[in-house]
């Protein structure tokens, strides 16, 4: 069973038809996103010139029975702290929002699909990293 979590870069690329990410979602049994991803994506939509079209694409994606929006809770916060601490100790910081996304992946045992290569610095998670494009 393939269970993945799309980060913002991957969900954005999916909505643009990025072939490798579309293929990864097509073969996944379960696809998750987090409120952090939805917030970052929504902020990007507001900066763009196709707000309604992008919102409709996202709504269609979220309607899929294979897609689930995860919650953020106390356990997620504990996972965030572990990842943040290990990244600081290793001298490999990544953006704060991406630590939250990684914490959710760690909590639920999901593979992070992303175009952001810095997820490779997070030893607590499995990743499927694709080049942007």
Task: Name the pLDDT band for 132 (thresholds 50, 70, 90).
Answer: confident
Long-range contacts of 129-132, Cβ-Cβ distance < 8 Å, separation of 24 or more: 130/10, 130/13, 130/18, 130/20, 130/21, 130/24, 132/9, 132/13
pLDDT tens digits, residue range 16-51?
999 999 999 999 999 999 999 999 999 999 998 999
Give the range of the structural domain holding residue 101, as residue numbers without chain letter: 3-129
Number of domains present in the structure of the chain: 1
Prediction pTM value: 0.94
pLDDT tens digits, residue range 76-122?
999 999 999 999 999 999 999 999 999 999 999 999 999 999 999 99
Task: Name the pLDDT band for 1 (thresholds 50, 70, 90).
Answer: low
Q: 90: Cβ–Cβ under 8 A, 6 or more apart, which residues? A: 121
Please report, for the domain that includes residue 61, its CATH number. Answer: 3.40.50.1010
């Amino acid at each position: 069973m393939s269970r993945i979590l799309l980060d913002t870069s991957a969900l954005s690329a999916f909505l643009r038809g990025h072939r490798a990410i579309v293929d990864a979602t097509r073969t996944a049994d379960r696809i998750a996103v987090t409120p952090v991803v939805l917030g970052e994506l929504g902020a990007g939509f507001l900066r763009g010139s196709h707000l309604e079209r992008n919102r409709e694409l996202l709504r269609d994606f979220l309607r899929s029975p294979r897609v689930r929006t995860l919650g953020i809770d106390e356990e997620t916060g504990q996972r965030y702290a572990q990842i943040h601490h290990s990244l600081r100790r290793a001298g490999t910081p990544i953006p704060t929002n991406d630590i939250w996304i990684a914490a959710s992946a760690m909590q639920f045992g999901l593979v992070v699909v992303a175009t952001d290569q810095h997820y490779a610095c997070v030893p607590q998670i499995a990743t499927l990293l694709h080049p942007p494009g």
